[in-house]
Structure 1
Amino acid sequence: MYVHPAFHIDHDQAFRLLQDRAFGTLVVADPAARPAAVHLPFLAHRTAEQGFRVELHVARANRLHELISPEGQPALLTCQGPDAYISPDWYGTPNQVPTWTYVAVHLTGKLFVLPEQDGPAHLDRLSAKFENRLLPKHPWTADKMNVSRRAAMTRAVVTLDLIVPPDGIDAQSKLIQHKGSVEHQGAIAGLRARGDASSVAIAAMMEKSWAARDG
């Protein structure tokens, strides 16, 4: 991913987005160099080497996992936050052009298939993360399933690990940081007037980013 210097975000900010979103697109190339992609939830972790480790899984019926060699397979995981269109009319200054604002992280690393016995613990961690977002609802756990059904569902997935070195992390927050106060205020007002969740989220991020820059 090309990252404009004005929009670059550091690894801490990238990690926060990965943890907040926890959903992305995994891309692996087949032997003919044709990309295969799958959309999936994940859990991101920091590593001692200052990179990331991402645990995820695919359906066993999805042949993507068959592309992964025992030595690991090069792979790309993309994760995107909110995004929104910006109209030049909102800026309040002349000679502007349309743009699209967004936040995204690309992780390039090696993908490994984990032993089948690692599956239940991975699935428990994953469901716990998202169930905790529903508090005060009492969290769902796999204990609510009978043993045979749980075992069958676990066998139906393949657990994966993506190991990402520090130089495999590309992240940017494209929020018109290169423009001035007038343009920011106009764009924020325009986004909030639209009212959809993504536009409102981008407006809040732009406001926070500008406040931090302004001191």
Structure 2
Amino acid sequence: MYIPGPFRVDDPEIIRQVVAANPFAMLVSVQEGVPMATHLPVLLVQEEGQDVLVGHVAKANPHWQVFGSTALMVFAGPHGYVSPAWYETAPNVPTWNYVAVHAYGTPEIVEGDEALEHLRELVNVFDPHLEKTNPESTELEFLRKKMAGLVAFRMPVERWDAKAKLNQNKPESDRLAVRERYLGSSDPHERAMAEMMPGRS
């Protein structure tokens, strides 16, 4: 990912927050020289102090057959248009602000109890009330049967690349003017960017 200096994010806590808030990722691998991508929810966990991404794909999806080789996981964060009319200075051109995180690592297949625990953790995170409202969906035997059609994996993160393009290259007056627009927006992406922009109170 091309990241000009002002837009680079190195703070691991900010990176983890973006990933946690945007868990529907795109896993990209290369098979025989051809890129392949799968869209899937993933969780970021800590294992002995290391960031690890866990997820699963359908067994019918051939993507798991290239696990064991380097892959890229893409997390698209908040994003939105910027009109040149919003700036205090002129002239300017339209642009698009956005936050994105790339994770590089090697997916490893997990099986047995570890795979089952992964599936239960996904349910607990994304549907924490399910055990009370639909308990049969979380019974171990039911989940074990479902695991037969899935391939679970873990991907230790070898490198993060993170970018927050939020008008850091603009004069403060322009940046604050865009932030004010975002703060008053009904779009949750724009409000989320406002909270991340330099100069926030």
Shorter-chain TM-score category?
Answer: 0.7 to 0.9
Kept in 2, the 8 Å contact 1:177–1:210? The answer is no
Aligned counterparts, 1:52-91, within 5 A: 52-68=51-67, 72-91=68-87
Number of aligned residue pairs: 197
Question: Residues of 1 paired with 2:171 and 2:98: CA distance?
Answer: 18
Question: Residues of 2 paired with 1:188 and 1:130: CA distance?
Answer: 30
Gaps of 5+ in 2: none
Gaps of 5+ in 1: 133-138
The residue that corresponds to 1:93 in the other structure is 89
Question: Residues of 2 paired with 1:3 and 1:88: CA distance?
Answer: 22
SS of residue paired to 2:122: helix
Q: So what's the TM-score if we normalise by structure 1?
A: 0.82
CA displacement, residues 18-61 of structure 1 (integer Å, 9 cap, x when unaligned): 12222210011112x1111111111112455x652111100111
Shift of 1:192: 4.6
Question: Residues of 1 paired with 2:140 and 2:105: CA distance?
Answer: 35
The residue that corresponds to 1:151 in the other structure is 144
**203, 209, 213: which one aligns with 2:194:** 203
The residue that corresponds to 2:174 in the other structure is 183
**Residues 18 and 121 (structure 1 numbering): CA distance in 2 closer, same or farther, change over 3 Å?**
same
- Further displaced range: 81-90 or 93-102: 93-102
Q: So what's the TM-score if we normalise by structure 2?
A: 0.87
Shift of 1:147: 5.7
Kept in 1, the 8 Å contact 2:136–2:142? The answer is no
Kept in 1, the 8 Å contact 2:55–2:152? The answer is yes
The residue that corresponds to 1:131 in the other structure is 127
Question: Residues of 2 paired with 1:39 and 1:170: CA distance?
Answer: 19
CA displacement, residues 107-150 of structure 1 (integer Å, 9 cap, x when unaligned): 11111111244221101111111224xxxxxx113842366543
1:14 maps to amino acid: I
The residue that corresponds to 2:5 in the other structure is 5
